[in-house]
A and B are shown apart, each in its own frame.
Chain A
Amino acid sequence: MVRQVKQAFFPVALVLFAALGPFILEPFDLVNLSAFSAMAIAALGLAFVWGTLGILNLGHCTFFGLGAYAYAIAVSNLGDSTLAALIGIALAVAFSLVLGYFLFFSRLGDVYLGVITLCVTLIFYSFMTSTADPSFHIGPVPLGGFNGITAVPSLNMPGDPQAFLSTEATFSICLLSLAGAYVLLSLLRSSDAGRIMTAIRESELRSELLGYDIRFYKLVGFAVSAAMAGLGGALYTAVMGYVSPNVFDLSQASQFVLWVIAGGLGAFVGPVVASFGFQLLSSQLGANQVFNTELIFGATIILFVMLAPQGLQPMLLGLSSLKFPHRFGILRRKEKPA
């Protein structure tokens, strides 16, 4: 019971913030925070697939970018933003199933999986940057090469393309989506399927010997993470009003990984907090122009790996549980030599 209350604390806080934020904050901050939330949803997807299933997907931004582009193209063609966001999710999931099929059914090792996913996103990057020619268009929407797609319509009332939502409403939707994604992934992780996924991360051999089809579970987990990234991408584009090939580039790819490492691999709250923190830092540094943002991030990730390799959340939880005496009981147990 105590655990459930503790677990509910974070999404409830997000929901409260979604409700109260518009009364406290300036519109500028609301837009920023909406964009941060969209990014955080995608980061949660990576936190899930990496932390629970142990799949290090260095190209997580592929799905984010696909969701972003799909939203931009669909909303301009169809008018309705709800449908466009769903298309963004569906495209990301469909692509993840195809990519995941080749990755998992060929039983690639972890390192190769990381390299290939990273290459895939860079392929998308170089393809999208070479679509500057006006002949590259879908419906009335030119893909735009380096500049990407601009003037993307923001969110509207479901079914009514003329009724655009206010900055405040968009902010609430983004934060509620983040809370929803958090709850959904937490439920999935603690379900039987999620526990099997954790088991697969712990030992693939044992899981197979028990009769679990690890390729299937990996594919499902991969698709779920892609759905999160696709949703994040769609919301991000809706908030910012543009999408460029930069969603597929190396710094975007590394950001998601950085947030999950900093927040704590295997945790959900940590990566969300870290993603907000780093994006805030990034926007502040960007405004000042004093330091190179990439340099700061590079230094931060090195510091984290050296000083807090488990990430923020496990480190803080570890500090607080040190006072429990039973910890020492376990630590004192001597293991017999094998």
Chain B
Amino acid sequence: MSKVPILAARGLVKRFGGVAAVDGVDLVVDAGEIRCLIGPNGAGKSTLFKCLTHQHQPTSGHVLFEGRDLQGLATHRIARLGIAIKNQIPSIYANLDVRENIRLAGLRRWLGKRQLNRVVELTLDEIGFDERLASQPAATLSHAHRQWCELGMLLASSPRIALLDEPTAGMTREEMLKTVDVIKRLNASATVIVVEHDLEFIARLAQRVTVLHRGKVLVEDTMDKIEANEIVRDIYLGRKKEAAHAEG
């Protein structure tokens, strides 16, 4: 582990009107980690995600990438630092074929033509796309394949850190298992932060889990400990009031 964390959030706050969707989050992610952010609906996961990637300007607080403040950087500048982002809604080039999608992601690295082609074919292999799928327009792909296409774009761009917002939303269990593999591939060379609902997915993937609740970090621990944590269970089962009473 390096001394400077690859991504750190300090006192992150995001208000929408009077509501603080993210309410003072401190987060430290070390290089090489797979970190999962979980929490019940409305816990502020997606807002935190958008703040970490500076798609939302935080109301206050800072996001540091390897010690460098992302404040004021344009979206493409943030991407060029090596931060790859997959939003909740798949964002791919629908009318271009999958190979072109992947190629455009790799093109930013200014590799030679031959090496770029190698990266593209390797990536297609890594996300398990055969020739028929690779030459299809992305718009004709199934939902899961679109997610994998986008993950492939992240792979091909060779990021330092990849932030994924609900990469398994709407997937069957088998598709989810394949996604686990793809994300592990991504993790071979990059730090990964995943926002997810699916607890099995997280258990298979994450080393450390950060639980959000009402815009704040509730606990941060390994998945085993999180699963055993009474408060987390209560929140997830919607027994917050009783839990609060028990605490009180």
CB-based contact B140/A330 at 8 Å? yes
Cβ-neighbour of B153 out of A198, A210, A330, A338 (below 8 A): A210
For chain B residues 74-125, which have a beta carbon within 8 Å of chain A?
Answer: 74-76, 79-80, 84-85, 87, 91-96, 100, 103-105, 107-108
Cβ-neighbour of B84 out of A205, A209, A212, A335 (below 8 A): A209
Cα A207 to Cα B103 with chains together (Å): 12
Which residues of A are found within 8 Å of B144, using beta-carbon distances?
336
Nearest CB in chain A: distance from B155 CB, A: 12
Q: Does B136 contact A (CB under 8 A)?
A: yes
Which residues of A are found within 8 Å of B91, using beta-carbon distances?
203, 205-206, 209
With contacts A199-B93, A203-B93, A330-B136 known, is A210 near B143, CB below 8 A? no
CB-based contact A208/B142 at 8 Å? no
CB-based contact A203/B100 at 8 Å? no
With contacts A202-B95, A203-B92, A205-B91 known, is A335 near B107, CB below 8 A? no
CB-based contact A202/B79 at 8 Å? no
**0/1 per residue, A211-242, Cβ < 8 Å to B?**
11110000000000000000000000000000
**0/1 per residue, A175-212, Cβ < 8 Å to B?**
00000000000000000100110110011011111111
Q: Does B18 contact A (CB under 8 A)?
A: no
Nearest CB in chain A: distance from B188 CB, A: 20
Which residues of A are found within 8 Å of B100, using beta-carbon distances?
195
CB-based contact A206/B140 at 8 Å? no
CB-based contact A195/B104 at 8 Å? yes
Q: Does B248 contact A (CB under 8 A)?
A: no
Q: Does A323 contact B (CB under 8 A)?
A: no
CB-based contact B157/A211 at 8 Å? yes
**0/1 per residue, A1-21, Cβ < 8 Å to B?**
000000000000000000000
Q: Does A139 contact B (CB under 8 A)?
A: no
With contacts A205-B91, A212-B76 known, is A196 near B104, CB below 8 A? yes
Q: Does B170 contact A (CB under 8 A)?
A: yes
Name which of A196, A211, A333, A337 has the most chain B CB atoms within 10 A of its CB: A211
Report the nearest A residue to B85, measured CB to CB: A209
Which residues of B are found within 8 Å of A203, using beta-carbon distances?
91-94
Which residues of B are found within 8 Å of A207, using beta-carbon distances?
76, 104
Which residues of A are found within 8 Å of B108, using beta-carbon distances?
210-212
Please list the residues of chain B having a beta carbon within 8 angstroms of any beta carbon in chain A. 74-76, 79-80, 84-85, 87, 91-96, 100, 103-105, 107-108, 136-137, 140-144, 153, 157, 170
Please list the residues of chain A having a beta carbon within 8 angstroms of any beta carbon in chain B. 192, 195-196, 198-199, 202-203, 205-214, 330, 333, 335-338
User: Can you sample 19 A-B contacts with CB below 8 Å?
Assistant: A195-B107, A203-B93, A203-B94, A205-B87, A205-B91, A206-B93, A207-B76, A208-B76, A209-B84, A209-B87, A210-B79, A210-B104, A210-B157, A211-B80, A330-B136, A330-B137, A330-B140, A336-B143, A338-B143
